[in-house]
Amino acid sequence: MDQISSACIPFIHVMEGLKYKMPTCWESLCIHSFESAADHMWQTWAVLLAYAQEGDSSLDRCMLMSLFHAITDFTPTGGELKKESLAKEYLRCLLQTTNETLALEFDDLWLEYKQGESQVAKRVRDACAC
């Protein structure tokens, strides 16, 4: 248990940093807000939960996609910048040490969100825009 706990610390620090970061997607839309990336992520999750149907098997996927978006600060309307690419690689490395299965799923979720064509990606984008 101690090994698992210590492996999670870097990921928890990344999550903590979201409290102090403004979402880039808002800046690109010229929205000036005092909302942090963490505030935005929690609001997105609240919207996803509010509109979830009972037995919705895609809710976990929506939540993870939203989390990855918040951490990596990926802006779906822009190209993949070097900063975003580095953030994506860093998150993958963090996940690899704590949850190998999730690390493997990360690229699929990333691409799905970026393309924005699946129902899950559309739901997350809609919730993110609220």
CA separation for the pair 53, 113 (Å, rounded): 21
Indicate whether 108 pLDDT > 70: yes
Confidence of residue 1 (pLDDT cuts 50, 70, 90): very low
Residues with Cβ within 8 Å of 14's Cβ and at least 6 positions away in sequence, in order, are 71, 90, 91, 94
Indicate whether 57 pLDDT > 90: no
Confidence of residue 62 (pLDDT cuts 50, 70, 90): very high
List Cα–Cα distances, 129 to 19, 107, 116, in angstroms.
19, 23, 13
CA separation for the pair 130, 110 (Å, rounded): 21
With 0-12 / 13-18 / 19 or more C-beta atoms within 10 angstroms meaning exposed / middle / buried, residue 127 is buried
CA separation for the pair 24, 18 (Å, rounded): 12
| DSSP at 34 | S
| Greater pLDDT, 130 or 93 | 93
3 state DSSP class of 38: helix
Mean pLDDT across the stretch 121-129? Answer: 91
Task: Name the nearest CA neighbour of 39 among 61, 72, 15.
Answer: 15
Indicate whether 78 pLDDT > 60: no
- ∠ CA 115-112-125, nearest 5°, is 75
Q: Which pLDDT does position 124 carry in this prediction?
A: 93
Percent of the chain with pLDDT over 90: 15
Token pair 């949850």: residue: 99
Highest mean pLDDT among 6-15, 35-44, 60-69: 60-69
Confidence of residue 29 (pLDDT cuts 50, 70, 90): low
Mean pLDDT of the chain: 78
